[in-house]
Structure 1
C-alpha cells in the first residue's frame, strides 16, 4: 500500500471524527431549540395580554407617564441581541447586517446611538461599528428565566429616564419556524400606538380573541388605585421587561435552529466527503496492487529469459 493511500485513510479517520462532533452538536441544538420554543409557547398568552394592556394605555390620551413620552435626549439606545458562539450558519451575519443598516439609517438622519449588547458576537460587531457599549451581557443561561433579565431591564429603564436618549429599540431575531427566522429592529420605549400596532401585525401566533385589542377603551372611566401614576409605574416597567424577555427567547430559539441546520448540513457534507475519500482510497489501493502485480510479472519474465 502506497503512502498516498495511507494519507487518504488518515483523512477518512479525521472526517469521521468531525462527523461525530457535528452530529452530537446537532442533537444538542435540537434539544435546546425545543426548550426555547417551549418557553416561547408558554409565554405567548401572557405576552399577548401584555400587548393588549400596552395597546389600551398607548392609545388613550388621558394617561400620562414618562415611558409613554419620548426621552429628553437626542440619541437612540439600541439593545443588540446576538449569540455568544459561532457555528450557527448565517445567524450572526444576518442580525449584524440588520443592525448595521439601522445604524446607517439613523446616522443619515443626523442621529447617533449607543448600544447594550447581549452575546459576545453582538459586542464584537458593536466595536466594529465604533459604537459605545454602555452595558454588555453574556452570562444568560440557555434556560434563562424572566427573573434573570432584571439587571438588563433596570439598565434600560434607568438610561431612558436620563437626559441622553430619546428612544430605545431592540434588535433581535424573530423565530417563525425552525426553517425561518427574520432579524428585526423594533422600538420598545417610549410605548406608542404605532409601534404596538406594527408588532401585533407581525405576530402570526396571535389568538383570534386578541385580534381586536385596538378596539377603543376609554381609560378615563377606570379608577386607578392607589393612583394612576403608581399603577403605571408598576405596570409599564414590567410589560417592558416581558417584551425584552420575549425578544431574548425569540433570538435563542432562532440561534439554536440555525445551529441545528448548520450542524446537520456539516454532518451530511462529512458523509459525502467520506464517500468520495473511500472511492479515492479504493482507487489508490487498486493502483498499488496493480503496480505490485506488474512488478512481480516483470521480474518473473526477466528471470525466465536468463
Structure 2
C-alpha cells in the first residue's frame, strides 16, 4: 500500500494581487519613518540639548539598525528554488535521506520540481521556498532558510528601538513638566504606538526564539521532530555560513522510492493547512541493474 504524501496546494495569484501587500509593506516603512521623525524632532532633541546623551545615542544607533534590517528583509532571498523543467516526470517519487530518516519529496505542479524536506510553495509569492517558515505580510516577503536570521535581527532591533523610544518619551515627560502643550501632545502620540507595537513584537520574538531552539516550524505539530538536535546545536547551525543558493547541504542522498535499499524509518511530515495528494510510486529498479536513481535537478 502506497502512503499518501500531502503538501500545500499552490494558489494562483490574482491579477494585481501584489498591489495591496506592497502598499501594506510601504505603509509600515512610512509609519516607522514618521514616528522616528517625530521622536528625533522633539523629545530626543530636547534630551540631547540638556546634556542627556545616553538615550539619544542609543535610539539613534538602534534606529539605523532597525531600518537596515527592515529594508534588507524586504529585498532578501528567503531561499527560492529554481523552477524545474516541464519535461520532468511528476509521477516519479523521490525520497531524501536526512538524519537517518527518509522524507518523501512531493511534486510541485507550479514550479515543476520535487520539493525537498520543509520546502513549500508560497501562494502569495508563487515560489517554492527552502525550509519555509511563513509569509510575513508586514514586509511582503517569505521567511525561509536564507533570511531567518535577518528576520530575528529585525524583531530584536525593533523591540530594542521601540523600547528605547518609549523610555525616552517617559523620561522627557516626567523630567520636563513645563513644556509647550504641542510638544507634550506629540510626545504622547509617539509613545502610544511605540508601546502598542512593542508588546506584539516581543511576543513574536519569544515565539521565534522558542521555535529556533526546538527546530520547529509553525505548521509542524508532530511530537517527533527529526530536525531537533538540541537547543545549543540548533542555534549554532542557524549561525553557520549559508551554502550556495538553490541548494541544501542537509540532503545527502536522494534515491528512487522502491529500490532494494530499505530505510529504517520513513518519515512523513505533518500536514500543512492546505493539502495536495502526491504522485504514485514508480516501478522497482534493482540496485544491481546498473541503473542509478535519478537525482532531482536543482
TM over 0.5, shorter chain: no
Q: TM-score, normalised by structure 2?
A: 0.28
Q: Which structure's CA Rg is the greater one?
A: 1
Q: TM-score, normalised by structure 1?
A: 0.27
